[in-house]
Amino acid sequence: MEVSAEVIAQHFNGEIIGDPNVKVSGVAKIESGKPNNICFLANPKYRNFLFSSEAGIVIINRNLVPEEKIKPTLIVVDDAYTAVASLLDLLNTLKKSKKSGRAMFSYKSFSAKMGKGSYLGRFSYVGRKSVVGKGTQIYPQVYIGNDVTVGDDVILYPGVKIYDGCKIGNNCILHANVVIGSDGFGFAPTKEGNYKKIPQTGIVVVEDDVEIGSNTVIDRATMGCTLVKKGVKLDNLIQVAHNVEIGENTVIAAQSGIAGSAKVGRNCMFGGQTGVAGHITIADGTRCTAQAGIQGSVTEEQGKKGLMGTPAIDYMTYMRSYAMFKKLAKNK
């Protein structure tokens, strides 16, 4: 779908320099832009490409606008990087027209309810007394169990599984093969040396505006609920164990794991492969680098550079320690 410079500029109140009627249909890097592409320029390092670019439109920071005339139409903004994020959202919305109704070979229980404008894809299943909100898009091969609540304008990509009783808020996105509500890892050792399974009777609650990456698993609570609060963003391949609580607007990168009953604060940022021990509390705003191992409670915000290493310690303390122990081999 083609979009004009005028429409794009109106989307984020940009100023047009050039032809407002030029149209583009895709996004590209400024060094490889074509006439049907829109590019962006926020880093002065790439400013020279502006004079050779064949792109139809370039979104540019106000302080980088050239004095001489160039070929592309410019849309001038205060922050080109942020504007591009908004642009991609616009193009994605225009590209994806919502479906409604039910596809052939889908199944909806007689007692389940589907909201106005929602869509149920092929081979998808909605169980007894479940409720799906308005405008929600359920792709093929999604399983929604009994007594599940899915909010408005949710996207469930192929292969998502939501077990009985779990609740998903509004405007959430669950990518392919996400599992919500599988049993927590609870087993009690017996005198015979084996393990007896502890029934997992709770649920998972995912609040509004949460995005969960492919193949991430969130376990149901033993009792009560595993809670993912509003605005949380989880990457692919993350394990969230039973009775965990993740605070608002926390972001967690791929292959991280959070053990049972850990409480993660709001606005935290975890790098890839972060490990969080069970039954600990992590303060609001905590940051940690990739592969950090948080084994004890974090009681206060650790600054911009955060925690590093296993066991995780303050970044600067870790770097000073690293400078010392990497010399040990030389002292043999």
Catalytic residues: 242
**CA-to-CA dists, residue 308 to 217, 279, 292, 311, 314, angstroms:** 25, 20, 5, 8, 6
Q: Residue 28 is which amino acid?
A: A
Instruction: Name every residue whose Cβ is closer than 8 Å to that of residue 81 and which is 6 or more positions away in sequence.
Output: 40, 42
Instruction: Provide Rg for the chain, Cα atoms.
Output: 24
Helix (H, G, I), strand (E, B) or coil at 60: strand
Cβ(83)–Cβ(63) under 8 Å? Answer: no
CA distance 129 to 165: 10
Which of 323, 248, 256, 265 has its CA nearest to residue 293?
Answer: 256
CA distance 74 to 332: 62
CA distance 305 to 11: 35
CA distance 197 to 154: 34
Residue carrying structure tokens 């029934």: 199
Residue carrying structure tokens 């296993």: 310
CA atoms within 13 A on the CB side of 91: 20
Secondary structure (DSSP) of 162-203:
E-TT-EE-TT-EE-TT-EEEEPP--EEE-TTSSEEEPP---E
Cβ(219)–Cβ(242) under 8 Å? Answer: yes
Helix (H, G, I), strand (E, B) or coil at 305: coil
